Amino acid sequence: MKTWPKFLLLILLVLLAACGANAETSQETYTVDEQTGLPLNPDTIPEGDFVVEGTISSMNLTPQSAPEFVLRSPTGRTYRVRAQALPDILYDDGEMVGVANFVQGMQVRATISQEVGGPETGNTTQLVTDDLMILR
């Protein structure tokens, strides 16, 4: 009668060992941006900041104080990003872009961070940047 609990304990240990053997921790390897040392165009959103270089796939420029852009990386991954005010978005040479000059397909670069929104956004995490730059 005393062997029954030992048998159950042995079965439990075997099951735990089997589950542990199949558990893999998949760590994505990122391309690192040379200028910042941050992940560049990651396929999955990492913890902390990262850099996106790609094109403007779509945009919502209203309100001009908090425009939203969908940025597409060369791999096809898209990121919906809230950017700084339109007058603060410059070309990489420092020239102002001008509201009428924003078009889909423009090459951009931005350092992205994550921000948890308030109740109006359902407390979702948003991608934000304050250094979106148009590349010529």
Domains, in order of start, for the chain: 31-135 (2.40.50.140)
Write out the chain's pLDDT in tens, 136 residues: 466 677 777 776 676 666 665 544 456 678 999 999 999 999 999 999 999 999 999 999 999 999 999 999 999 999 999 999 999 999 999 999 999 999 999 999 999 999 987 777 677 889 999 999 999 9
Cα separation values, 41 from 3, 54, 69, Å: 57, 8, 15
Q: What 8-state DSSP symbol labels residue 28?
A: P
Classify 78 as helix, strand or coil: strand
Quote the pTM value. Answer: 0.76
Looking at residue 23, its pLDDT comes to: 46
Burial class of residue 93 (count of CB atoms within 10 Å of its CB; 0-12, 13-18, 19+): exposed
Q: Give the number of other CB atoms < 10 A from CB of residue 70.
A: 16
Q: Are 46 and 39 in contact (CB under 8 A)?
A: yes
Classify 117 as helix, strand or coil: coil
